[in-house]
Structure 1
């Protein structure tokens, strides 16, 4: 079942006896678990019928004993196992999973890793309960996710604001949710989140950031690019060179990849091939006009070279700000 499928069934009060929630993306695991905790039992039922255990402090025997108890003055009891990835031999729960108590809702949080789908234990969980794998979303999907989340909270968000958050926070959905929640509390002017709101409340400069540097380089806007790297050099702590290089490496690699897309006239095909939002296809097309394949290969090699220099390999004396200025000059000329 997908995340949406699970929430849909939970909203109908359709509870499975076992939820095994696993995978790299903790956000979806937490959302499902929190919904069950908030809604499976009445508040008056929780004192006797809700148990939360932690992987480091429990064992298989305790979990099975707790899960096999009958509820008191309620139809169901809820047992939540947080940090279950810390439990050794989790597959020893097999005896309970094969015959779970119908009056128990057992929720297992198995974060940052997944069960081997070939093993019988995994198949037993899928047969007798809900097995959900929470995967990281691709970086190109993050801006749309931000828009959808903001919309559900009753807010609109400008495209540039979306991409500022995505560039700054990556695809860590929990951090993005916290940032958006902070924004929706502090915004007073209407219900549209702007880049200025991001700058004022999150601390990301709307004009001097890696996203704007990438755009300036793509357009070969020398003045703007130099403005940004001068800002970076005076704010090195908040703009680490290693992050800038990683993002530029990804960007120029995609620009190079653009040359090998067969159907360049179809923006959807280009966006899908580069794993970018269709909104930015025009920017990649412009960058491809400004940098031929030979120059792009040279830039990618330079980025690798300056990544090593920033880590003290081949250059132990230069400041990161000076290295970055040198790198950007070579890219643009």
Structure 2
């Protein structure tokens, strides 16, 4: 079965080829994550034509405003006084009769770059997908999982010549979530605000420019739980109670669940060194392994099982199951953290 490639770095190779002027006649960019679709499309727009050629040779339309016949007709045109022309269809998922693209694929115009942005889903026509992949680029843009966000944030800054710590990555990912367009927008805001000579993103920068507290966040709450520092955990929960929109319960409980689910795996490995823990959990930062080593000392396997069970129960209660109407998320979090640490 022919399917779009799903390698996490495939977009980097596509972008590299585009920047080197190695174009394909057709780009079909689909998937639930619009960020990479827009990133590739914008790179094509920036590199396909010289500025002077865009007035006559660049066509950008929306799927709701055209039909497939008009898209094919536009793609078949010859460029005017230029080497190539560019045709981009945004929101291509709204196009009717997508199967008609097959006729164009049999003999695509060599001087045309046709880009179709099929957002928020994937095309199910396997025959058409195979035909696209045979002559062009077929790319599926997948949503990132929560645990992948810190790596995405770290790599984003590295590519721009900046560094950021694990705590700061977690602050950003917890506060903003998996909307990559919004996340990258906030990261760009950070970069603009930095003094020219500074090349490291700190918690102070994040607090000042994005409004995320460097002392009262999910990263610090988890740290308090790991170290069984109930006083510090209580302070953070009080802050969350006063700022509920900035600290949703669902995010906090996900952070706790992910950590203790990973911790459960570590009781069964024979060597519990930092290196072994990093390898087992595929950690990118040695400091994360230190946290797990502390947790292994502070929580035995039986307690870890109880904690995972508690987190599941309170996740259900936060959705209204077995909870009195009007119960605040902060009250549930207080109960949960107390039971975890006692």
Aligned to 1:318: 327
Q: Gapped runs of 5+ residues in structure 1?
A: none
Shift of 1:25: 2.7
Q: How many residues matched?
A: 331
User: 8 Å contact 1:142–1:171 — kept in the other structure?
Assistant: yes
Cα pair distance change 1:211/1:121, threshold 3 Å: same
Shift of 1:276: 4.1
Cα pair distance change 1:316/1:277, threshold 3 Å: farther
User: 8 Å contact 2:25–2:109 — kept in the other structure?
Assistant: yes
Give the match's secondary structure for 1:51. strand
- CA–CA separation in structure 2 for the residues paired with 1:166 and 1:272: 23
Q: Does 1:230 align with 2:238?
A: yes
Give the match's secondary structure for 1:304. helix
Cα pair distance change 1:4/1:242, threshold 3 Å: closer
- CA–CA separation in structure 2 for the residues paired with 1:246 and 1:163: 12
- CA–CA separation in structure 1 for the residues paired with 2:316 and 2:57: 56
Shift of 1:140: 3.9
Pairwise CA RMSD:
2.2
Aligned to 2:160: 153
CA offsets 1:199-247 (integer angstroms, 9 cap, x no match): 1111111111111111111111111111111111122222122322222
- CA–CA separation in structure 2 for the residues paired with 1:123 and 1:262: 47
Cα pair distance change 1:94/1:81, threshold 3 Å: same
Shift of 1:266: 6.4
Aligned to 2:284: 277
Aligned to 1:124: 131
Aligned to 2:29: 21
Give the match's secondary structure for 1:57. coil
- CA–CA separation in structure 2 for the residues paired with 1:311 and 1:28: 33
Q: 2:52 aligns with which of 6, 19, 44?
A: 44
Q: Gapped runs of 5+ residues in structure 2?
A: none
Give the match's secondary structure for 2:89. strand
Aligned to 2:312: 304
Query: Is 9-18 or 273-282 further displaced after alignment?
Result: 273-282
User: 8 Å contact 1:140–1:277 — kept in the other structure?
Assistant: no
Query: Is 243-252 or 11-20 further displaced after alignment?
Result: 243-252
> TM-score, with normalisation over the residues of structure 1?
0.91
Give the match's secondary structure for 2:246. coil
Aligned to 1:4: 12
> TM-score, with normalisation over the residues of structure 2?
0.89
Cα pair distance change 1:242/1:149, threshold 3 Å: closer
Q: Give 1:166-185 correspondences, 5 Å limit.
A: 166-185=173-192
